[in-house]
Amino acid sequence: VEAGATNCQFRLAARPEGLPGRDCWEMTEEAPREPADGEALVKVLQLSLDPAMRGWMNDVPSYVPPVGIGEVMRAIGVGQVVESKHERLAEGDFVTGLFGIQEYATLPGDALTPIDADLAPLATYLNVLGVPGMTAYFGLLDIGKPQPGETVVVSGAAGAVGATVGQIAKLKGCRAVGIAGGPEKCQMLVEDFGFDAAIDYKNDELLPALREKCPERVNVYFDNVGGEVLDAVLARLARKARIVICGAVSQYNESSMRGPSNYMALLVRRARMEGFVVFDYADRYAEAAREMGGWMAEGKLKGSEDIVAGIETFPDTLLKLFRGENTGKLILEVASA
Ligand SMILES: NC(=O)c1ccc[n+]([C@@H]2O[C@H](COP(=O)([O-])OP(=O)(O)OC[C@H]3O[C@@H](n4cnc5c(N)ncnc54)[C@H](OP(=O)(O)O)[C@@H]3O)[C@@H](O)[C@H]2O)c1
């Protein structure tokens, strides 16, 4: 690192009520920490902004501990090693890891995963070949178990996870129907991502639209949003349907979560609803990345990224997720390689 380099960081200053405003964050600056034996110092290039971050800001037990007040906000990113005291890593290597919202991260080398920047653009490692892609792959295939000819509905369809779910559903011979906010996103799903149909939950009436777009009912529903959309799809299930609970972004900023009221549809349709956490599949990521990388190379799967430059924009950029202002994977660009 250049002498005098500073590490700009965003720390959690207060727990939010509702949408996380600027008062939730404190911007701090300190010198990048020299790596100790076994560690590497990474220059952060791109950071993944995720709806899950909203949950990590709450002081409640979850699948990971909450971010503590005063701690650097947790975030996954891609970066480049600038100094290494780890035998496996060398200066210039591209890596992915849990860097946090900051310009430099000093981490144990064992917590860094090398990535091949010649194989795919860096952002792909935060999208299709990263956590969103793994989430789509294992959530759909392992929990949803789509069969050829079945109808797969996915909400949050124009987002990182959703767009990949729809494309994998098509690859598996299913009818793919996406639910997203606004006519532009819906048009993109059909024209660019090959969905069979799309429903604009902000302008269409959900029940008639689901009847029209899913004439054979819904065999797999991959739910990213919860709330009213979940209730509407429950009303259109096929017998033995599988509902994959991936997330509930419509509820993350509410003081109390609204559960499905239509759950007796599970009984009537002999259906099953099951949640999952992608990290449980970590030992199978390489296998999934190989298959998805193959589909990308064949032009059968593509990602789209919404890249916003400037670490200082973090508080406002994060809100794009909850206002539906992102299309594809939302990424904060901190520096260029
Ligand atoms: N289970 C797991 O292991 C796991 C792992 C990763 C992600 N997830 C979950 O997967 C879901 C998608 O994550 P992502 O990273 O792909 O985010 P994303 O879909 O790229 O971005 C969030 C999108 O959610 C939609 N949205 C926001 N507020 C909404 C509301 N009130 N009602 C309906 N839709 C709303 C917006 O799209 P519109 O414009 O269409 O409204 C927005 O673009 C999230 O629920 C996330 O928590 C789960």
- Name the β-bridge partners of 104: 43
Is the minimum distance from the CB of 277 to ligand 1 under 6 angstroms?
Answer: yes
**Nearest Cα residue to atom 44 of ligand 1:** 247
- The Cα 86–Cα 240 span in angstroms is 51
Q: Assign 3-class secondary structure to 157-182.
A: CCEHHHHHHHHHHHHCCCEEEEEECC
For the CA of 227, the nearest atom of ligand 1 = 32
Find tokens 């509902």 and name the residue.
243
Return per-residue pLDDT of the chain as tens, 337 residues: 777 899 999 999 999 999 999 999 999 999 999 999 999 999 999 999 999 999 999 999 899 999 999 999 999 999 999 999 999 999 999 999 999 999 999 999 999 999 999 999 999 999 999 999 999 999 999 999 999 999 999 999 999 999 999 999 999 999 999 999 999 999 999 999 999 999 999 999 999 999 999 999 999 999 999 999 999 999 999 999 999 999 999 999 999 999 999 999 999 999 999 999 999 999 999 999 999 999 999 999 999 999 999 999 999 999 999 999 999 999 999 999 8
Is the minimum distance from the CB of 185 to ligand 1 under 6 angstroms?
Answer: yes
Three-state secondary-structure class, residue 78 = strand
Is the minimum distance from the CB of 321 to ligand 1 under 6 angstroms?
Answer: yes
- Order of strands, sheet of 218-223, starting from the edge strand that comes earlier in the sequence: 197-200, 175-180, 151-155, 218-223, 237-245, 272-275
The pTM for the full model equals 0.98
Is the minimum distance from the CB of 178 to ligand 1 under 6 angstroms?
Answer: no
Q: Is residue 157 classed exposed, middle or buried when 0-12, 13-18 and 19+ CB atoms within 10 A define those classes?
A: buried
Is the minimum distance from the CB of 223 to ligand 1 under 6 angstroms?
Answer: no
* CA of residue 250 to ligand 1 center, whole Å: 8
